[in-house]
């Protein structure tokens, strides 16, 4: 529906595509990697029907946004979020981050504060850190990141097939919680992403968000699936809750990484319940 210019690479502007629907309290949805704003389709109608204004945008390199070869570190991605919030003059927004989007949200808070935020929602968290350590033995190390990047360079589309399987736990959920058609649509979205952007994001998995977490001073909901094969719950969701003990923490039983698709009803219920508490129940729902 619109674009926000966030920079330039050589002679080409870097534009972020966004959609802005509905009216009422603003809810900003940050997608995971290597997907884009379309991955929030299961949540879009319920949020609009409940009377919220819903904003999605495609991060640089993905979806319908520009595909530069610069700016895939979290400081730059958080600055992109700040540019969107500023351009749309959003106040008291509830920002919802999923997976890589949780890193953008938490780094944004660490660098830019919470003046524009009413609340935060963190789904399948990358924070406090996904780096392998004594505290996080299920995390990833530099060799693991390099292996993913090598697989992307060798055959991005074959690698993407395996990724979609693990995002959805297809061996368990195919035909019950997710159709082959939906899995194919998600594969297509990942295939449409910029090849360089897809390759450039994994080093961010080693980022440490511990200091950024300390700046979160707004009501926060943390949601994590118990069957996440990408960001295991023990090292990610539970560790983040330990770092933010005042946050509302919800575990969705059997939820894989992309639980917004497979467990859409469960996630939407938690999201709407939290929104009604922190942002009120809007009038004029559809």
Give the C-alpha separation, 75 to 90, whole Å.
20
Helix %, strand %, coil % of the chain (to 5) = 45, 20, 35
Handedness of CA 249, 34, 54, 16 (dihedral sign): positive
Active-site residue identified among 99, 125, 241, 263: 99
Q: Write the DSSP string, 137-149.
A: TTSB-HHHHHHHH
The first and second tokens of residue 261, run together, are: 């698709």
**3-class state of residue 284 by DSSP:** coil
Q: How do strand 248-252 and strand 53-57 relate by DSSP bridges? A: unpaired
241 tagged catalytic: no
**3-class state of residue 221 by DSSP:** strand
The first and second tokens of residue 45, run together, are: 């109608």
246 tagged catalytic: no
The first and second tokens of residue 101, run together, are: 């989007």
| Residue 194 dihedral angles phi and psi, to the nearest 5° | -65, 135
Give the C-alpha separation, 225 to 172, whole Å.
14
Active-site residue identified among 58, 212, 228, 241: 228
Q: Among the residues of 119-169, which ranges form H helices?
A: 142-168
1 Cβ partners below 8 Å, 6+ apart?
Answer: 18, 19, 20, 21
Peptide linkage before 128 cis (omega within 30 of 0): yes
36 tagged catalytic: no
Over its C-alpha atoms, the chain yields an Rg (Å, rounded) of 17
Instruction: Name 7's bridge partners.
Output: 14
Which residue numbers are catalytic? Answer: 99, 228, 257
């Amino acid at each position: 529906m619109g674009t926000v210019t966030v920079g330039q690479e050589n002679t080409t502007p870097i534009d972020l595509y966004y959609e802005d629907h509905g009216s009422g309290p603003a809810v900003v949805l940050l997608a995971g990697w290597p997907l884009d704003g379309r991955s929030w389709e299961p949540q879009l109608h319920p949020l609009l029907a409940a009377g919220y204004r819903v904003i999605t945008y495609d991060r640089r390199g993905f979806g319908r946004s520009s595909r530069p070869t610069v700016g895939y570190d979290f400081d730059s991605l958080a600055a992109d979020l700040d540019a969107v919030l500023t351009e749309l003059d959003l106040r008291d927004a509830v920002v919802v981050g999923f997976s890589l989007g949780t890193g953008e949200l938490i780094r944004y808070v660490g660098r830019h504060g919470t003046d524009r935020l009413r609340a935060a929602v963190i789904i399948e968290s990358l924070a406090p850190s996904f780096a392998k350590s004594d505290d996080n033995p299920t995390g990833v190390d530099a060799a693991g990141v390099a292996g993913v990047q090598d697989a992307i360079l060798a055959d991005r589309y074959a690698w993407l097939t395996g990724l979609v399987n693990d995002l959805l736990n297809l061996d368990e959920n195919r035909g019950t919680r997710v159709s082959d058609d939906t899995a194919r649509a998600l594969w297509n979205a990942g295939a449409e992403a910029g090849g360089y952007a897809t390759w450039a994001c994994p080093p961010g998995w080693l980022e440490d968000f511990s200091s950024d977490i300390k700046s979160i001073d707004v009501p926060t909901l943390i949601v994590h699936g118990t069957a996440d094969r990408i960001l295991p719950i023990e090292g990610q969701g539970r560790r983040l809750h330990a770092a933010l003990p005042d946050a509302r923490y919800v575990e969705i039983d059997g939820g894989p990484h992309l639980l917004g698709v497979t467990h859409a009803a469960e996630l939407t219920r938690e999201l709407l319940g939290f929104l009604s508490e922190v942002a009120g129940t809007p009038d004029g729902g559809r």
